[in-house]
Amino acid sequence: MLPLNDRRTLLAACAALGACIAAPAMAQDYYAGRSIDLIIGSGPAGGYDIYGRALARHINRHIPGKPSIVVKNMPGAGSGRAAGFLAKIAPKDGTVIAGIMPGAVMGTLLEEKPEILFDPVRVQYLGTANNGTRVCVGWAAAGVKSFDDVRAREVPFGAVSPNESTHDYAFMLKKTAGAKYKVVSGYNGTTEIGLAMERGEVVGSCGWDWASVKAQRGDWLRDNKLSVLLQIGLERNNELSKMGVPHVWDYVKGGVDRAVVELVSGQQVFQRSYIAPPEIPAAPLSVLRNAFDATMADAQFLAEADKLRIDIAPLPGAKVQEIVQKLHATPKDVVQAARAAIRP
């Protein structure tokens, strides 16, 4: 047994760090024999589904008690439906978590009259698996091979719905970068948009995650069926720059337009976030955050990610929480300009 002074020092350190979640009984027994539902806020086979299912196959090894992970898809409202279910209906004991799109986190900030499905500042972030780059893509056979092509003529571009990147980024670029495409919304994810390109219904789309394009449509890139027209992010992506893909700052030079793009694309820093309910107790929250961080560094998980061609560039939950709070404190004039840009 530790001397009394050492025990007091240890307890004080634990209290300061919030790290004594686990008395041994909590750490070893809480999840034993239980399951955790992982709600994916998008449809099957898309990029978010690929990431979420990869996480589900590995994270339980890092949770004491090794609970089973049950993946369930709940698309709708750009992941807002899944986040709302988690925040308002699901158990608050750490047995339900969700993977959501950044548009759901930004919706209450950028919507003029948002449907408040959940409070993105109050939910508890476990972490994000990727901070990524968005791209515009075109169907090469339709003659859409550069971003200048869609600045010169009106062509149909596929999108999902408000609060989802293919919708919001498409309208943002019409407002700030001179794009002239017609946004055709209502598709159920990028998988359906890709099929619509094959059928000739649309000839491109903006707001696709670059990692998802490589994971879902690597063969199209290889066979030059898909043209990457533009990269969107706060910084240039080295891989895309080497491919000669222009950056959004090549078309958006400054002023209010640049502030709008910075705000909207700033959400890419927490590209694939995983959340727990606002009321989750500190003990299971700490267990889940630690497990998420450990999974992001796990050799088996990273090997599978490499095989799936998905990029892993994680941030811990506390850091994501801080970024979300800062974005939601953006000056009102910039928010108003961004709202006008992303909504027709």
Q: Tens digits of per-residue pLDDT, 330-340?
A: 999 999 999 99
**Residue 134 banded pLDDT, cuts 50, 70, 90:** very high
285 located within any domain = yes
Give the residue-averaged pLDDT of 119-139: 95
Residue 187 pLDDT greater than 70, yes or no = yes
Burial of 232 (0-12, 13-18, 19+ CB in 10 A): buried
pLDDT at 8: 40
This prediction has a pTM of 0.74
- Number of structural domains, the chain? 2
For residues 181 and 222, membership in a common domain is answered with yes
**Residue 37 banded pLDDT, cuts 50, 70, 90:** very high
For residues 108 and 179, membership in a common domain is answered with no
Show which of 249, 267, 285 is a domain's final residue. Answer: 267
Give the residue-averaged pLDDT of 37-52: 93
pLDDT at 6: 43
Instruction: Name the strand (E) or helix (H) holding 226.
Output: strand 226-232
Helix, strand, coil in percent for the chain, rounding step 5: 50, 15, 35
Show which of 230, 248, 267 is a domain's final residue. Answer: 267
122 located within any domain = yes
Residue 130 pLDDT greater than 80, yes or no = yes
Residue 304 pLDDT greater than 50, yes or no = yes
CATH code: domain of residue 298 = 3.40.190.150
81 located within any domain = yes
Residue 24 pLDDT greater than 80, yes or no = no
What is the rounded CA–CA span in Å between residue 44 and residue 60? Answer: 21
For residues 82 and 173, membership in a common domain is answered with no
For residues 84 and 145, membership in a common domain is answered with no
Name the residue with higher pLDDT: 140 or 4.
140
Residue 239 lies in domain? 134-267
4 located within any domain = no
pLDDT at 131: 83
**Residue 28 banded pLDDT, cuts 50, 70, 90:** low
pLDDT at 111: 80
For residues 39 and 140, membership in a common domain is answered with no
For residues 127 and 138, membership in a common domain is answered with no
Q: Measuring CA to CA, how many Å separate 334 from each of 46, 109, 327?
A: 32, 11, 11
Residue 176 pLDDT greater than 90, yes or no = yes
For residues 126 and 68, membership in a common domain is answered with yes
- Dump pLDDT digits (tens) for 57-108: 999 999 999 999 999 999 998 899 999 999 999 999 999 999 999 889 988 8
Residue 34 pLDDT greater than 70, yes or no = yes
**Residue 2 banded pLDDT, cuts 50, 70, 90:** very low
User: Is residue 289 a contact partner of residue 316, using CB atoms and an 8 Å limit?
Assistant: yes
73 located within any domain = yes
Residue 5 pLDDT greater than 50, yes or no = no
pLDDT at 11: 36
Residue 204 pLDDT greater than 60, yes or no = yes
What is the rounded CA–CA span in Å between residue 292 and residue 294? Answer: 5
9 located within any domain = no
- Across 18-32, 225-239, 268-282, least confident range: 18-32
pLDDT at 26: 53
Q: Which residue has the tokens 């600045």?
A: 151
What is the rounded CA–CA span in Å between residue 51 and residue 69? Answer: 14
Give Rg (Cα) of the chain: 21
The overall average pLDDT reported for the chain is 90
**Residue 13 banded pLDDT, cuts 50, 70, 90:** very low
Residue 15 pLDDT greater than 60, yes or no = no
For residues 126 and 275, membership in a common domain is answered with yes
Give the residue-averaged pLDDT of 271-275: 94
For residues 242 and 149, membership in a common domain is answered with yes
Q: Which residues of 289-316 are buried (b: 16+ CB within 10 A; e: fewer)?
A: bbbbbebbebeebeeebeebebbbebbb
159 located within any domain = yes
**Residue 1 banded pLDDT, cuts 50, 70, 90:** very low
For residues 247 and 123, membership in a common domain is answered with no
Residue 4 pLDDT greater than 60, yes or no = no
Show which of 250, 267, 284 is a domain's final residue. Answer: 267
14 located within any domain = no
